[in-house]
Amino acid sequence: MTLSVEAVKIENGFEPTIIAYCCKWCSYAAADLAGNMRLQYPSSIRIVRVPCTGRVDTIHLLKAFEFGADGVFISGCLPGDCHYLTGNEKAAKRIQYVKNILAEIGLDPGRVEMFYNSAAMGPQFAQTCRDFHQRILELGPLWGQSS
């Protein structure tokens, strides 16, 4: 049984910091659409607009964790529809590489993920954010809770 977001927050007082790298062509536009539609998703998700998800390097993902993020995801164009042809494929490979690194150092690889959202997928983008937020809530703080 999974606890609701509110139950987890009440239980441990934890609100995760999540970094979302979104391509400007599709996923950032989907986030904008979600906002225009007044769809709710957690305010603790910090969106970073990038020209293409293929420009998000491994070091960007790892540095986000180093600087306090509890979870990181990349959201790009739908497979086969990348505006830069293969940028989202490169990003997906980097996500898998970072998942392997996290597993090797004893962290849950579920803290990093790749998602795909077209510009017209505002509701799906908001749901992606809520689902990933729930996952990170269940995993808890990355480096433990400070008092």
Greatest C-alpha distance within the chain: 47
14-139: CATH topology: Rossmann fold (3.40.50)
Of 23, 16, 69, the C-alpha closest to 42 is 16
Q: Give Cβ neighbours of residue 17 (< 8 Å, ≥ 6 apart).
A: 44, 46, 68, 69, 70, 71
2, amino acid identity: T
For the stretch 91-116, pLDDT in tens is: 999 999 999 999 999 999 999 999 99
pLDDT range class, residue 7, cuts 50, 70, 90? low
Closest CA to 22 of 72, 58, 85, 70: 72
51 touches 27 (CB < 8 A): no
Quick one: pLDDT at residue 147?
39
Give which of 41, 72, 94, 76 is closest to 139, Cα–Cα: 72
Token pair in block for residue 103 = 């597993």
Instruction: Give every CB contact of residue 16 below 8 A, 6+ residues apart in sequence.
Output: 44, 70, 71, 133, 136, 137, 141
Q: List the structure tokens of 27.
A: 């996923």
Question: Is residue 12 scored above 80 in pLDDT?
Answer: no
CB 120 within 8 A of CB 109: no
Instruction: Read off the pLDDT of residues 75-97 as tens digits, 9 standing for 90 and up.
Output: 999 999 999 999 999 999 999 99
